[in-house]
Structure formats: structure tokens, C-alpha cells
């Protein structure tokens, strides 16, 4: 906790004064352009990776960057966040970002004992379709890496089942993107529809 408290002190002393104008504007305005869905992994920091300022990203973080398919009538924090970002904030882009060495995808690949971590096992069932998409050819290049890629594509497909997203896609007011972040190299690749990665265009 001491590290966190010292960090707050540095923020108040050094960072906030240098960005006073930004924070004054943000105090009464919330207009992010992008919904960024990433893993809960502490090594993945969307604002750092994209060098975004406060207020630019609406971030949802879940274990394995999983997005459950829309289920009418269910109370789901992920679905609520997506609906708010699209229908209220009007984001124009949605990024689902997977990453190298994902613990959730490693657990899916290796098989997780439901008795040991029942809540985690239940959540990871949302990756069953991702595992089914991994082909024999892909497993030869590393099952977890292949699963990370296919999982991003699966979650993009799940996103499209949410009514707010489906409506925005039909109206061409939102664009979906699948990214893979490599922790060891800092590179970010964008996936095509087949899961093939290519360097992010800048």
C-alpha cells in the first residue's frame, strides 16, 4: 500500500498540475472515442500501450478478455458496460485485445480443475468456442498463442450479438478491431478475419 500512497502523492504533486486544463474539461465531459476490452492481467495496461490520455478510452477488463454472448434478461456487468459505451457514449471503435502469455488461455489449453477454482472455471467456459476454433495446424505453432488469437476473434463475434453493437454495426457507426499485444516485445498486431496477425499500421 505504501507504493500506492506514494504514487497518489506524486500524481497530486507532479501530474495533476501539469494537466489541470485536461482534468478541468473531464470534470464535466466524458466522450471517449474507443471501447477497449482487454484482459485483467496486471501486465496489460491499455492506456500505457496506446499512450492514451485520461478520458480517451472506455475500458472493460475481464479475465481472458472474454465477452459473453448477449443473454436477454441477464444481469451482466460486461454487457452493461458495452451497452453504455455504444448506446450512450457513442464510441466509434471497439478493440478486443488479447496478449502473449495469457494465464486464462493457458488454463483453457491445459484444462482447469473446476473443483479448485469453480468461479474461474465457470467464467472460462466463455472460451469454449475459442478452443474449438484452434486448428491442428495452429497448435503446431504453440497452442496458447493460437488460442489467444482465436479467442480474440470469438469475442469479436460475441460482441456482435449485443443489440447495441449490432445496431451500430448495421448503421456503420462503429468498427470492431482485434489486437494481440506481445508483452516481451511491446509489439501490437491486428488480426484479420482468419486470425492472421499483421503489424499494426501507424
Annotated binding site for Zn(2+): 39, 41, 99, 102
Catalytic choice (3, 14, 30, 39)? 39
Residue stretches of the annotated binding site: 39, 41, 99, 102
| Residue 177 appears among annotated catalytic residues | no
- 41 catalytic? Reply is yes
Among the options 99, 126, 149, 162, which is catalytic? 99
Q: Which of 10, 25, 30, 43 is catalytic?
A: 43
Respond yes or no: is residue 39 known to be catalytic.
Answer: yes
Task: Please confirm, yes or no, whether 125 is among the known catalytic residues.
Answer: no
Longest dimension (CA), the chain: 55
Active site residue 99: yes
Q: Residues 41, 97, 126, 149: which is the catalytic one?
A: 41
Catalytic residue among 102, 126, 149, 162: 102
Residue appearing with cell numbers 500512497: 5
Q: Which of 146, 136, 79 is nearest to 108 (CA)?
A: 146
Rounded Cα distance, 108 and 91, in Å: 31
| Residue 189 main-chain phi, psi, to 5 deg | -115, 145
Half-sphere exposure of residue 70: CA atoms within 13 angstroms, side-chain side:
15
Active site residues: 39, 41, 43, 99, 102
Amino acid at each position: 500500500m505504501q507504493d500506492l500512497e506514494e504514487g497518489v502523492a506524486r500524481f497530486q504533486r507532479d501530474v495533476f498540475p501539469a494537466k489541470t486544463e485536461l482534468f478541468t474539461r473531464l470534470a464535466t465531459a466524458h466522450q471517449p472515442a474507443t471501447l477497449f476490452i482487454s484482459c485483467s492481467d496486471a501486465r496489460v495496461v491499455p492506456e500505457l500501450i496506446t499512450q492514451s490520455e485520461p478520458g480517451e478510452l472506455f475500458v472493460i477488463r475481464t479475465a481472458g478478455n472474454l465477452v459473453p454472448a448477449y443473454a436477454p434478461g441477464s444481469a451482466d456487468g460486461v454487457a452493461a458496460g458495452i451497452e453504455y459505451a455504444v448506446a450512450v457514449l457513442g464510441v466509434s471503435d471497439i478493440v478486443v485485445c488479447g496478449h502473449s502469455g495469457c494465464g486464462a488461455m493457458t488454463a483453457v489449453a491445459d484444462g482447469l480443475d473446476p473443483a479448485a477454482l469453480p468461479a474461474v472455471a465457470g467464467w472460462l467456459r466463455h472460451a469454449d468456442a475459442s478452443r474449438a476454433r484452434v486448428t491442428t495446424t495452429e497448435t503446431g505453432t504453440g497452442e496458447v498463442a493460437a488460442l489467444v488469437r482465436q479467442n480474440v476473434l470469438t469475442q469479436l463475434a460475441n460482441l456482435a450479438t449485443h443489440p447495441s453493437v449490432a445496431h451500430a454495426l448495421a448503421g456503420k457507426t462503429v468498427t470492431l478491431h482485434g489486437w494481440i499485444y506481445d508483452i516481451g516485445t511491446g509489439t501490437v498486431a491486428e488480426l484479420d478475419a482468419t486470425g492472421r496477425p499483421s503489424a499494426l499500421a501507424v
